[in-house]
Chain A
Amino acid sequence: MKRQARSRLLLTLICLIFGAMLGFSYQHAKNEASRREWSDSEWKKEYEYRSALLALQKENRSLKQQLVKKQEELAAWEKKLAEEQANEAGLAKEAEQLRMHVGKARVKGKGVAVTLSDSSYIPSEASATDYIVHEQHVWKVVHELLISGAEAVAINGQRISHRSYIVCNGPVIEVDGTQHAAPFVISAIGNPDVLMSALELPGGIVDELVEDHIDVKVEKQGAIVLDPVFAPQP
């Protein structure tokens, strides 16, 4: 009897342990179930969406990298372009200035006009040559103007370049092959005050010309327009 009671008690103990395990497991499974209530198809779907998302993100990242690369390239190009344009602008400006200097461009500016006319009074036919304007008078004036800083010079509207020549040709003067008769108007672009005072120095060119019986008229001009050199190059 005592033995049976003991075995009954042991059985009860074992049943208690088993029950506790069962209950514990049941509760645990219930907790887990709420976490794992997704079915296979749902998992599959989620997997698909997830991989699609991943692919998109990957693509996005690579596209972004490409964009950054392209932008860098663009910036480099723009910089290069800007530099080239700046260089070109500088070159164009320089070319324009050089063209002005060598007489290949129309120039406009303040300056002076010197008019040389034959003397209005000629005492005798024999000495007539002493009273007319000679080519050396003209080039003296031209030289004086150039030395004083004239930037462009023209005789009777014909532009003088660094290769021009002035020769006496009987009653007329030849400038680069074009004949000019008196009166000669020598226009020069430059600082009018400087040019004027250079010409009118005491004992200077104007006095010299007057001594040679030439009518000299010097006037400042606000706007002189000089055409480029058209004459055929010698």
Chain B
Amino acid sequence: MWLPLFGLLLGFAIGVLAGWEVPDEYSNYLSIAILAAFDTLIGGWRAHLQRTYDETVFITGFFFNIVLAATLTFLGVHLGVDLYLAAVFAFGVRLFQNIAIIRRLWLAEWAKRRQNREKS
């Protein structure tokens, strides 16, 4: 359980300390990629709680969403239409939904535990 968290912290440290530089015009891609990754992670967490977690779906989703979001942004930049807004909207909505589902699952678990305690 602690290994992924450790990986997250390590990655964060690498990102901060590596000192990579992106030109301003590519910062859009980075933010949309982060949003996509975050959405996938939360989605995976929700799936795990709902016991529908599938590793293949999760991993392919992670990379595919990032690539898709970046592609949309790229297309939007070149077509003059702010298509990355679509990605932001889609991922944002799904993020909220997933978080809401996780909260409800937690609530349900908490209520079940309390019931059990009262019973015993």
> A and B from one assembly?
yes
A residues contacting B by CB (< 8 A) are: 7-28, 32
Q: Give the residue name and chain of the B residue nearest to A17 (CB).
A: B11
Given contacts A7-B55, A18-B38, A32-B27, contact A24 B20 (CB under 8 A): yes
B11 near A10 with CB under 8 A, answer no
Majority secondary structure of chain B interface residues (helix, strand, loop or mixed): helix
Q: Give the residue name and chain of the A residue nearest to B15 (CB).
A: A23
B15 near A20 with CB under 8 A, answer yes
Number of A-B contacts (CB under 8 A): 91
Query: In the complex, A19 Cα to B8 Cα: how many Å?
Result: 5
CB distance from B57 to the nearest CB of A (A): 12
Interface residues of B in 1-18 (CB under 8 A from A): 3-18
A8 near B16 with CB under 8 A, answer no
B34 near A22 with CB under 8 A, answer yes
Query: In the complex, A14 Cα to B55 Cα: how many Å?
Result: 12
B27 near A22 with CB under 8 A, answer no
A21 near B27 with CB under 8 A, answer no
B22 near A12 with CB under 8 A, answer no
* Cβ of B102 under 8 Å from chain A: no
B11 near A18 with CB under 8 A, answer yes
* Cβ of B30 under 8 Å from chain A: yes
B85 cross-chain contacts in A, Cβ below 8 A:
none
